[in-house]
Amino acid sequence: MTRGIVITGTDTGVGKSVVAAGIARALGAAYWKPVQAGLDDETDSALAARLGARALPEAYRLITPCSPHQAAAIDGLVIDPVRLALPACDVPLVVEGAGGVLVPLVAGAAPLLYADMFARWALPAVLVARTSLGTINHSLLSAEALRARGVAIAGVVFVGEGNDESERTICQIGGLRRLGRLPWLDPLGPDTLSAAIAAHFDLGWLL
């Protein structure tokens, strides 16, 4: 495996955290969420740890569940990209973004978007996409935004019920490798997630 990968998505709530936790655990990598916005419910790092991944501390823990730039402003902060440098770790990193690829970390005259940060890290990205209606447009736009910034895309992971036509179309038009599909898991736990990753994913591309 390379020194790490970025897990990003087409939208909020698409399943990035579960996919990131599952891949991190399967490959013996550490999970890192640089910016957590929203502390009332289970955080993404806490979820990853509950699902069996080794979770590193966040660089920022912001109170309000909204875009990181806005959550930081509410807390009286401005996110400093220096604090978002990849942490030293004895194993590779699985780094999870927030929302979609163009979510802002810093707004204003000199914005910093997550995709810009991915380019600074120089890590390949795994794009997580729904299989439901609208996913073709969202997935292809996300891929274009990443490539426009020079971010290599390792492939796409789908989440939800199988949709062969949408998945095939996204991969064909976007020139994307299909890495697997994670079905909805009930119950969701370390064992069910590990079994689903083993059954539905080909992780040889990272080794």
Q: Which sequence positions are flagged as catalytic?
A: 33
Question: Can you tell me the distance from the alpha carbon of 147 to that of 164, in angstroms, rounded to the nearest whole number?
Answer: 25
Q: What does the block give as tokens for 43?
A: 């955080």
Contact 95, 125 (CB under 8 A): no
Closest CA to 124 of 155, 100, 98, 145: 155
Question: Hey, is 79 helix, strand or coil?
Answer: coil
Closest CA to 57 of 16, 103, 88: 88
Identity at 133, one-letter amino acid code? L
Question: Can you tell me the distance from the alpha carbon of 46 to that of 165, in angstroms, rounded to the nearest whole number?
Answer: 35
Identity at 145, one-letter amino acid code? A
